[in-house]
């Protein structure tokens, strides 16, 4: 597994997303208030636009989520499953902190 550095952990604001190009894929990376990192595909499957990194971070029944900024479908940051339409999902990717940098593997 190869890891791609995205940004300094301290630069990633809680409850905000950033988009990074990793091995030709747009990846949305999020840091929740508790410091947990999540990475998923940036492509919103409902609109076809690469916008999930600009979504609204929240929770549903204790599960961290992001709502698409376009049509407001809510996706689990853990599994990538759309909580509004369970048959739709986006890929999730491993993410970690190494030497103070957020890294993603696709």
CATH architecture for the domain at 4-104: 3-layer Sandwich (2.102)
pLDDT for 1 equals 83
Two tokens, residue 59: 């929770």
The number of angstroms, rounded, from the C-alpha of 55 to the middle of its chain's C-alpha atoms is 9
Q: Where are the domains of the chain?
A: 4-104
**Residue-by-residue pLDDT tens, the chain, 106 positions:** 899 999 999 999 999 999 999 999 999 999 999 999 999 999 999 999 999 999 999 999 999 999 999 999 999 999 999 999 999 999 999 999 999 999 999 9
Predicted TM-score of the model (pTM): 0.95
Alpha carbons within 13 A on the beta-carbon side of 66: 33
Distance, in Å, from the CA atom of 19 to the CA atom of 56, rounded to the nearest integer, reads 14
- Tracing tokens 């995205």 back to the chain, one arrives at 6
pLDDT for 39 equals 98
- Tracing tokens 């990633």 back to the chain, one arrives at 12
């Amino acid at each position: 597994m190869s890891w791609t550095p995205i940004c300094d952990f301290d630069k990633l604001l809680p409850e905000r997303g950033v988009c990074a190009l990793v091995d030709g894929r747009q990846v949305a990376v999020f840091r929740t208030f508790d410091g947990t990192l999540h990475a998923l595909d940036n492509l919103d499957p409902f609109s076809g636009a690469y916008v999930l990194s600009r979504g609204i971070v929240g929770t549903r029944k204790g599960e961290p989520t992001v709502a698409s900024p376009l049509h407001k479908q809510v996706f689990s940051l853990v599994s990538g499953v759309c909580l509004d339409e369970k048959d739709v999902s986006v890929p999730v990717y491993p993410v970690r902190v190494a030497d103070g940098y957020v890294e993603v593997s696709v």
